[in-house]
Amino acid sequence: MKSENKLAGLGLLTAISASLCCITPVLALLAGTSGLASTFSWLDPLRPYLIGLTVLVLGFAWYQKLKPKKEIDCDCETDEKPKFIQSKKFLAIVTGFAIVMLAFPYYAQIFYPKAEKQIIVIDKANIHTVEFQIKGMTCASCEEHVNHEVKKLDGILKSTASYENGNAIVEFDISKTKIAEIEEAINGTGYSVTDKKEN
């Protein structure tokens, strides 16, 4: 029974570790410590292995739980109910939580508030678009974190970050904010601007 609990705990730990790089930006946003967002981005290359380990560990825990028990010839009383932590219900809760954690990168963006600001453009000549190359983004949660921080600045018309392309394309009013301020906001998330190019 104790080995099943250890397996369930290990499965939960690997599931959380697999999504830690995407959980951290949301936690950083909620805590107001934006710079910590990229702390666990180094775990992203390990994500497929951690997912596989989670599936193997929890699969083995379920196998241990569901395999038929060997019958022992004895007149002793063995009808005692297992503790909750040793029950199938507990293992099902752990498995369900692990699935929620593994899927976190696919729904993390719902935790970011939508920053809708009305921008009044006085002179269209002031509208510039800059592409920032960014190092350290690993999932949709990272994209949302960068967009959220950039949109806090005055004069931002549009910010589109992409972890797949490793960039953010920002459209803004140069009379209200500067390229250096946008770069500083991105670097403040913990991700790094490696290059920028005006379009």
Instruction: Show me where the domains of the chain are located.
Output: 2-70+82-108, 112-198
Residues of the chain short of pLDDT 70, as ranges, are: 1-4, 21-22, 26-39, 41, 70-82, 113-121
Model pLDDT, residue 167: 96
| Sign of torsion over alpha carbons 85, 90, 94, 95 | positive
State the Cα–Cα distance between residues 156 and 179, nearest whole angstrom.
11
- Give the CA count within 13 Å in the CB-facing half-sphere of 94: 26
pLDDT (0 to 100) of residue 113: 66
Q: What is the CATH number of domain 112-198?
A: 3.30.70.100
pTM over 0.85, yes/no: no
pLDDT, residue 35, reads: 59
Number of other residues whose CB lies within 10 A of the CB of residue 16: 17
Res 52: pLDDT = 86
Buried b / exposed e over 18-56, threshold 16 CB at 10 Å, is bbbbbbbbbebbeeeebeebbbbbebbeebeebbebbee
Specify the pLDDT at position 84: 73
pLDDT, tens digit, for every residue of 65-99? 888 776 655 555 555 666 777 778 888 888 888 88
Closest CA relative to residue 25, chosen from 196, 194, 188:
188
How high is the pLDDT of residue 103?
Answer: 82
pLDDT on residue 130: 96
